[in-house]
């Protein structure tokens, strides 16, 4: 395994402690399954170091039997499952919103996202073994080994999503044990939900009658209206971000690229939390006219992104490329980041625009 320092050197790093970094977009677009060392890292505290041999996951709360599971116990008691899913930060593409007005948080470009084969056990299988009442109106709270401003990291998901077949306790990413920065030895993977609901370095799973009261769940990752600011926000108010919206990004060419007149390949990704992407429109003239890109999607992976490609015939001059996706409900993306601006810079999903010059 490469060292953390070697992996950091591959990424665009926003901070070392906590460590936050994303890959350049062209490298992100190079493989449908993102290599673990090209996968963005979002952490709120220091990376914990966990000894796999002594590791235990506790499962407790509103269940019949509390469980203490070693990694070996998890592997031997429950069927192994692999799910191909996209993980995405709610702050992905925040840089576009920051261009409208100041926002808090790191200025992520379109790379706070990645897709992997996640292998582990179904959280639902573990909860059923513990004797869950599957019909109850409950929440599944996670607690992790890292510390954020004096508290352990924690978040929760509704029980129905915890029991959904795609929701995992994962120990491997693309066939290899999780890297330390991606949650070794065990993390939750909640496909379709914002990355914040997929805690890394899991310590404890608790079934309870309300969402987690951890500040990450109770105060952060809330969507606020545009008239709310950092000064006026009631942190407990706002809408809890779970399912991620439709989004699309141009990965190549890069901003500011100089291209030759004629045929040029434009490519990127499109993604929607839990609905299928059915169409991707690309414009070579800032959105006045559009053409349809070819889509490349793994049909066995409903929670994973779609790669798209189009060959555009570009005349000489300065151009604004733009992309917008459509989902199976016939919905598309807002044209400008102004339309959905919020002071936290979450869910930035306007048409992605790239200015280029053709000579
Ligand atoms: N324990 C813990 N889990 C965590 C986080 C964290 O800081 N600590 N960050 C969350 C957020 S906001 C995101 S977007 C994803 C990022 O996962 P990755 O770093 O493996 O890409 O992890 C989530 N799980
Ligand atoms: Mo995130």
Domain limit, last residue, from 225, 240, 255: 240
Q: Is the CB of 151 under 6 A from ligand 1?
A: no
Q: Quote helix, strand, coil % in the chain, to nearest 5.
A: 15, 40, 50
Q: What is the CATH number of the domain that holds 32?
A: 3.90.420.10
Q: Please identify which residue in the block is written with the tokens 């002071």.
A: 343
Same domain, yes or no: 253 and 313? yes
* CA 67 to centroid of ligand 1, rounded, Å: 24
Q: What is the CATH number of the domain that holds 254?
A: 2.60.40.650
pTM of the model: 0.97
* CA 320 to centroid of ligand 1, rounded, Å: 33
* CA 321 to centroid of ligand 1, rounded, Å: 32
pLDDT at 236: 84
pLDDT in tens, 213-230: 999 999 999 999 999 999
- Residue 121 CA to residue 82 CA, distance in Å, equals 8
| β-bridge partners, 121 | 169
Nearest alpha carbon, ligand 1 atom 5: 43
Same domain, yes or no: 214 and 234? yes
Domain limit, last residue, from 190, 218, 240: 240
Region of 286 (left: φ > 0; alpha: ψ -120 to 50; beta: rest) is left
Same domain, yes or no: 210 and 277? no
Domain encompassing residue 251: 247-358
pLDDT at 74: 98
Ligand nearest to the CA of 7: 1
Same domain, yes or no: 257 and 294? yes
Same domain, yes or no: 197 and 265? no
Nearest alpha carbon, ligand 1 atom 10: 196
Same domain, yes or no: 300 and 212? no
Residue 176: CA count within 13 A, CB half-sphere? 9
Contact 71, 52 (CB under 8 A): yes
Same domain, yes or no: 235 and 114? yes
Ligand nearest to the CA of 11: 1
- Residue 359 CA to residue 355 CA, distance in Å, equals 14
Same domain, yes or no: 51 and 126? yes
Q: Is the CB of 89 under 6 A from ligand 1?
A: yes
- Indicate the number of domains in the chain: 2
Measured in degrees and rounded to the nearest 5, phi and psi for residue 145 equal -85, -15
Same domain, yes or no: 218 and 348? no
Tokens of 267: 């490519």
Same domain, yes or no: 201 and 270? no
Low-confidence ranges of the chain (pLDDT < 50): none
Radius of gyration of the chain (CA): 21
Q: Is the CB of 42 under 6 A from ligand 1?
A: yes
Q: How many residues does the chain have?
A: 359
Domain limit, last residue, from 219, 240, 261: 240
């Amino acid at each position: 395994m490469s060292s953390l320092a070697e992996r950091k050197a591959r990424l665009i790093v926003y901070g070392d402690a906590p460590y936050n970094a994303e890959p350049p977009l062209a490298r992100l677009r190079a493989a449908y399954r993102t290599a673990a060392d090209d996968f963005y890292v979002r952490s709120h505290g220091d990376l914990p170091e966990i000894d796999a041999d002594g590791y235990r996951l506790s499962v407790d709360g509103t269940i019949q039997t509390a469980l203490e599971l070693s990694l070996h116990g998890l592997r031997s008691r429950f069927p192994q499952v692999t799910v191909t899913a996209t993980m995405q930060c709610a702050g992905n593409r925040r840089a576009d919103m920051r261009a409208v007005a100041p926002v808090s948080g790191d200025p992520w470009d379109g790379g706070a996202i990645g897709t992997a084969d996640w292998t582990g056990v179904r959280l639902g299988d573990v909860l059923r073994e513990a004797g869950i009442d599957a019909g109850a109106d409950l929440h599944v709270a996670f607690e992790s080994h890292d510390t954020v401003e004096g508290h352990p990291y924690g978040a929760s998901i509704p029980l129905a999503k915890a029991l959904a077949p795609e929701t995992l306790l994962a120990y491997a990413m693309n066939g290899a044990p999780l890297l330390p920065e991606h949650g070794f030895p065990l993390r939750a993977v909640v496909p379709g939900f914002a990355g914040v609901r997929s805690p890394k370095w899991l310590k404890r799973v608790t079934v309870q009658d309300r969402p987690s009261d951890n500040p990450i769940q109770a105060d952060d990752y809330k969507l606020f209206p545009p008239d709310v600011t950092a000064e006026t926000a009631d942190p407990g108010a706002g809408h809890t971000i779970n399912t991620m919206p439709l989004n699309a990004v141009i990965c190549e060419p890069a901003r500011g690229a100089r291209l030759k007149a004629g045929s040029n390949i434009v490519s990127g990704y499109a993604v929607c939390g839990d609905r299928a992407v059915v169409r991707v429109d690309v414009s070579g003239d800032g959105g006045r006219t559009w053409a349809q890109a070819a889509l490349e999607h793994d049909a066995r992976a409903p929670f994973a992104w779609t790669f798209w490609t189009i060959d555009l015939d570009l005349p000489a001059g300065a151009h604004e490329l733009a992309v917008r996706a459509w989902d199976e409900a016939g919905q598309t993306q807002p044209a400008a980041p102004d339309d959905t601006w919020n002071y936290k810079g979450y869910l930035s999903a306007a048409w992605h625009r790239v200015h280029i010059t053709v000579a």
